[in-house]
Amino acid sequence: MKLSLAQRSERGGRERNEDAIGFCGNEILGCFVLADGTGGYKGGAVASEVVVQQVLKHFSAAPQVDLTSIGTSIDVAREALYEARRTHPQFPGMDTTIAALMLDTERALAYWSSLGDSRIYLFRSGRARILTTDHSVLQSMIDAGIFTGELRGNRKRNLLYAAVGTEEVPERVVCDKPLVLCSGDVFLLCSDGLWESVDETTMEALLRQAKTPEQWVDELMRAVPDPEAPEQDNYSVLAIWIGEREEVTTRILPHMPENG
């Protein structure tokens, strides 16, 4: 299966960009990582960059795509952050989210992991599905039925109970089983600065119009309403298109097909 990639990262209204993106692989196996330095702590840019680079370095040394390797990505990220805290004592509380995707195009399988509120989306038949879980206090309240309001726009939305550097690792960090790839699948890794500003309906509409991953990414970035507003967080995306641009990418079905 052919892979086509595009990525962008913008500072938004913040003084600096604390997001980091990267990928590596060969003709068959690939690893894609996005990290977002968590707000409220200095050193977020250091944390995100170190985590992304170390996860990719580990994958490059021994490329393998399975449940063990995607689980190991979390361990590698946590070890990298602890070491970075040790070597940068001026940033003792620095932390970051992570979203990691691993693909095996020969076996047509995808695996993913995440900590925090950076997301991985699957777009199949034109419909968006969030593969990852937001480890935010507000999302946990929604899941428990305690809160019934909107996640987007809520000032408490970005209060996380888990990220790479938290002591306890919650459940639902690594996928339960692989996703079987279909030609025409699209993956999107993004930081919360993007998905907070651009909803899934807009993502789908822009995908239907795009002829290349680069065009789609450009339009996603343009869809951020006020990119230089002080409250606009850093926003970053990494898009991966599987196979040729086929009807399955843009054809609308009533429901997202189940993993098969």
Q: Does residue 258 lie in a domain region? A: no
pLDDT > 70? residue 83 = yes
Q: Does residue 255 lie in a domain region? A: no
- CB-based burial, 199-235: b 16+ in 10 Å, e otherwise: eeeebbebbeebeebeebbebbbebbeebeeeebbbb
* Range 1-22 average pLDDT: 94
Tell me what percent of the residues of the chain surpass a pLDDT of 70: 93
pLDDT tier, 248 (very low <50, low <70, confident <90, very high otherwise)? very low
Residue-wise pLDDT for 105-126, tens only, equals: 999 999 999 999 999 999 999 8
Q: Does residue 151 lie in a domain region? A: yes
Q: Does residue 259 lie in a domain region? A: no
Q: Does residue 256 lie in a domain region? A: no
Q: Does residue 154 lie in a domain region? A: yes
For the chain, the farthest-separated pair of C-alpha atoms sits apart, in whole angstroms, at 52
* Count of residues in the chain: 260
Give the list of residues 6+ apart from residue 211 with CB closer than 8 angstroms, or none. Answer: 245
Q: Does residue 260 lie in a domain region? A: no
Whichever domain contains 245, its CATH number is: 3.60.40.10
Q: What is the DSSP string of 77-119?
A: HHHHHHHHHHH-TT-TT--B-EEEEEEETTTTEEEEEEESS-E
Answer whether 0.75 is exceeded by the pTM: yes
Would you state the pLDDT for residue 252?
52
Poorest-pLDDT segment among 35-44, 75-84, 169-178, 188-197: 35-44
pLDDT > 90? residue 260 = no
What is the domain range of residue 82? Answer: 3-250
How many separate domains does the chain show? 1
Q: Does residue 170 lie in a domain region? A: yes
